[in-house]
Structure 1
Amino acid sequence: MKKVLFILSILLINFGCSSNNNSDNNTSEGDSMYFPPSDGSTIWETKSIAALGWNANAVQPLLDYLQLKNSKSFMILVNGRIVMENYFNGHSAITAWYWASAGKTLTATVTGIAEQEGYINTNNKVSDYIGTGWTSAPLAKENLITCKHLLSMSSGLDDSLGDDVSPANLQYVADAGTRWAYHNVYVKLQDVVAQATGQTWNNYFNSKLRDKLGMTGGLWVNGTDGTRTYWSTTRNMARFGLMALNKGKWNGTTVINESYFNLATTTSQTINLSYGYLWWLNGKSSYRLPQSQFQFSGSIIPSAPSDMYAALGKNDQKIYVVPSKKMVVIRMGDAADAVNMALSNFDDVLWQKINALYQ
């Protein structure tokens, strides 16, 4: 991993990423939405804790907790402007780190872009695009699986067999749409997009999403089991979060249409109310967790705003998007406590400390 990290960091440096913030914007214009330039520029406006009227005494307890919990980076954007940007444990603004499953939301977004361009229909079965035999399920059962089932984690395939997405490892458990299970099979959507567009996944992703947001230098790393993990700087993760805050728009340009984005951040099926199209949804009455068929009552992160939607990845990679506060929060790092798939007690305690900034 150190070798991969070094190579990615060099690439990101060559693409001109920088840790330098621009001057603080304390005027009334700070209440409007801001977007950093998409041309690789290092400019990014800031907004101070004091200008927001937040509690400066709550900053250090938050930073202490983040460092204690193995964080590498942390950012808060309000109306697109950087309010906090902090790095820990040798990490920096030009260091790449993996998104883990937080990157699922990248796949959901690009799938929606391919649909709005007429290449795919997410109601169609997956085999329409990548052919039959992509699973070990009986053909009749495989043909029940649509792209929307992959987006909503309701493929009906066995989630207990690990991340390998070879046909032998994609086995039938239940009919598509009848069972929610967190499964790496979503990555087949990348193959769907590649086949439908006649482009490589990387090329289509870069031209339709990465480059439009100015996410310079980020790239996909392929695993031996068919997985693909996205690596980027913290600021690039924040750019994607800012696009998500604006429901698919970037500085007046529609990257992904708002109707699809609204579907992506709304309950996608009736089994796990806290899951959209590869986005986690806060404020619902119940939720399910990865590798479990047990239903829990209440919101996934009780201390967080109820309208929040989130990209959550293994070992506590986080993109929290809060429309009611015009806020995006990013956390990258190692697992806060023990290795975990997406959610842990860390989320709730972290939000208690974030809340202390403005309550």
Structure 2
Amino acid sequence: MKIKKILWLIPALFLGVVIFLQYPKLNIISGYASKNMASTVFITGRSPESVLQHDNNMPLISLAKVENNGLSTTASIYGLMKRKTVCHEGIGCMLVNDTYQPSSTFPVPHRQHSENPCSFPYGDKEQTDTIFANIDYDGLESAVETAFIQPEIQKTRTVLVAYKNHIVAERYTEGFTKDTPILGWSMTKSILATLYGILEYQDKLDLNMAAPVPAWEDDVRKKITLNHLLRMQSGLEWDEDYTSISDVTQMLFLASDMPAVQAEKQSIAPPTEIWNYSSGTSNLLSGLLRKRFGSLQEYLDFPYSALIDKIGMNSMIIETDMKGNFVASSYAWATTRDWAKFGLLYLNKGKWNGSQLFDETWVDYITTPTEGSNGTYGAHFWLNAGGKYPDVPKDMYSANGFQGQRVFILPSKDIVVVRTGLAEEPEFDINSFLAGIIASID
């Protein structure tokens, strides 16, 4: 009997130590578990069981007990730090706090989902079969296969290769199809930057204007421009650490007004002196975008009318925080084909089916390496200018997201590649993957 009691006490003591050491993080852990479950089930239609088994099966996150009823989700760690997420049509799901009222109503974007008789990428019809003589299709299929060959390690979910505006390879793992929305995480940042490019093309803003933040007007931060923010070189303090209680985890899983988090940070260096990747900066830019419109409704409509629905990314939804701000750092969802459309818009330098959405020079702007980034970052897009991927052309640039969400744009090869999953480097070898695809297209 004593031995049984000792054996029972060992895991109990271990659990107690874990909770004690991680207690300050529990609010964030249960917040992540709640939000990820709610959004995935609500937006994609996947089962809670699948989310628990795969998406939430991460260190610490898997400790959370999660209950989902379709329109809301609660999560806690052994009854501690209970967090709730609520879902609304049109704006997705948001973590809420004690100020949330169940009777609250939220404006939703007006969407345009008109039928288009064209084939991919411009319309809804399946593309006509096109055979390119310069493509080794067996080699291409083998290259795509390498992304799925170790499913427990690489955790790839979807791959799409587009060449000259045609899908030439496409593959989905079990449980995912061409109609399954995928969370882009930080690929959302590139969507946000594009909205600024559209406004610039419309002569509605100057990237060199000072960021209109009233609290900055009387100190050194008044020198920070929109360009500095898009290039992540504002000099504002920010800690982008997802393994601890940091600026980014507190913003995403505790803040109700996300743009305010970065706006309240102090300057630690003059603009351009340092490069510091910051999700807070992207959400600040989202808040500044909102200020350009006369109403919340106009702000909510703009990304869809100016970009998303205009190029037929009808599956895309960008979630908001409790204050109605788009969480432009992290929370855009879209099917793999719609993420590919975004890449093709850039491959075609802003021209979509005869309409110019942003100036061709915008591509030069976002792909110009930012000082201090070692050739890896432009303006809310990642670059290969520094040769990080040695077997991939240096003109390749990409929208990157947590866990290996990627839209790769290769102008010199006329290729766009989308890869989504739950693992990134080193578990997923981007260099070899892209090199194999490139080698199959002469």
Paired with 2:346 and 2:174, the residues of 1 have a C-alpha distance of 28
Tell me, yes or no, if structure 1 residue 56 matches structure 2 residue 138.
yes
Tell me, yes or no, if structure 1 residue 180 matches structure 2 residue 215.
no
> What corresponds to 1:146 in structure 2?
225
> What corresponds to 2:377 in structure 1?
275
> What corresponds to 1:118 in structure 2?
203
Alpha-carbon deviation of 1:358?
3.4
> What corresponds to 2:405 in structure 1?
317
Q: 1:124 to 1:46 in 2, by over 3 A?
A: farther
| One-letter identity of the residue aligned with 1:325 | K
- Which one of the candidate residues 287, 290, 293 is aligned to 1:191? 287
Q: 8 Å contact 1:265–1:279 — kept in the other structure?
A: yes
Greater relative contact order, per chain length (Cα 8 Å cut-off, separation 6+): 1
> What corresponds to 1:222 in structure 2?
320
Paired with 1:55 and 1:44, the residues of 2 have a C-alpha distance of 17
1:292-328 C-alpha deviation (Å, 9 max, x unpaired): xxxxxxx122121221111111110111111111110
Alpha-carbon deviation of 1:59?
1.9
> Partner of 1:242: helix, strand, or coil?
helix
> Partner of 2:223: helix, strand, or coil?
coil
> What corresponds to 1:346 in structure 2?
429
Tell me, yes or no, if structure 1 residue 65 matches structure 2 residue 154.
no
Paired with 2:139 and 2:379, the residues of 1 have a C-alpha distance of 38
Name which of structure 1's ranges 58-67 and 302-311 shifts more when overlaid on structure 2: 58-67
Paired with 2:141 and 2:121, the residues of 1 have a C-alpha distance of 24
Alpha-carbon deviation of 1:283?
3.1
Q: 1:47 to 1:124 in 2, by over 3 A?
A: same
Paired with 2:227 and 2:267, the residues of 1 have a C-alpha distance of 17
Alpha-carbon deviation of 1:168?
7.7
- Which one of the candidate residues 357, 363, 382 is aligned to 1:255? 357
Paired with 2:230 and 2:168, the residues of 1 have a C-alpha distance of 33
Q: 1:47 to 1:273 in 2, by over 3 A?
A: same
TM-score by length of 1: 0.78
> What corresponds to 2:238 in structure 1?
159
Paired with 2:129 and 2:337, the residues of 1 have a C-alpha distance of 13
Alpha-carbon deviation of 1:175?
1.3
- Which one of the candidate residues 33, 37, 41 is aligned to 1:6? 41
TM-score by length of 2: 0.64
Q: 1:42 to 1:9 in 2, by over 3 A?
A: farther
Q: 8 Å contact 2:274–2:372 — kept in the other structure?
A: no
Name which of structure 1's ranges 311-320 and 59-68 shifts more when overlaid on structure 2: 59-68
| One-letter identity of the residue aligned with 2:271 | A
Q: 1:78 to 1:322 in 2, by over 3 A?
A: same
Q: 1:268 to 1:248 in 2, by over 3 A?
A: farther
| One-letter identity of the residue aligned with 1:210 | I
Q: 1:58 to 1:124 in 2, by over 3 A?
A: closer
Alpha-carbon deviation of 1:197?
2.9
1:113-141 C-alpha deviation (Å, 9 max, x unpaired): 122223322111112xxx3227xxx9422
Q: 8 Å contact 1:107–1:187 — kept in the other structure?
A: no
| One-letter identity of the residue aligned with 1:280 | W
| One-letter identity of the residue aligned with 2:320 | N
> Partner of 1:159: helix, strand, or coil?
coil
Name which of structure 1's ranges 52-61 and 88-97 shifts more when overlaid on structure 2: 52-61
> Partner of 1:65: helix, strand, or coil?
coil
> What corresponds to 1:81 in structure 2?
166
Paired with 2:319 and 2:187, the residues of 1 have a C-alpha distance of 14
Paired with 2:38 and 2:317, the residues of 1 have a C-alpha distance of 15
Paired with 2:127 and 2:422, the residues of 1 have a C-alpha distance of 26
Tell me, yes or no, if structure 1 residue 213 matches structure 2 residue 213.
no
> Partner of 1:263: helix, strand, or coil?
helix
| One-letter identity of the residue aligned with 1:206 | Y
> What corresponds to 1:288 in structure 2?
none
Instruction: Please say which structure displays the higher CA radius of gyration.
Output: 2
Q: 1:45 to 1:276 in 2, by over 3 A?
A: farther
> What corresponds to 2:440 in structure 1?
357
Segments of 5+ residues of structure 2 without an aligned counterpart are 1-35, 46-88, 91-111, 240-245, 252-257
- Hey, which bits of structure 1, 4+ residues long, moved more than 4 A? 223-226
> What corresponds to 1:43 in structure 2?
126
> What corresponds to 1:203 in structure 2?
301
> Partner of 2:232: helix, strand, or coil?
coil
Alpha-carbon deviation of 1:256?
0.8
> What corresponds to 1:90 in structure 2?
175
Alpha-carbon deviation of 1:262?
1.8
Paired with 2:418 and 2:211, the residues of 1 have a C-alpha distance of 32
- Which one of the candidate residues 185, 194, 197 is aligned to 1:100? 185
Alpha-carbon deviation of 1:36?
2.5
Tell me, yes or no, if structure 1 residue 303 matches structure 2 residue 388.
no
Alpha-carbon deviation of 1:159?
2.6
Q: 1:255 to 1:87 in 2, by over 3 A?
A: same
1:52-103 C-alpha deviation (Å, 9 max, x unpaired): 4315145235314335211111000000000011101311111111111122
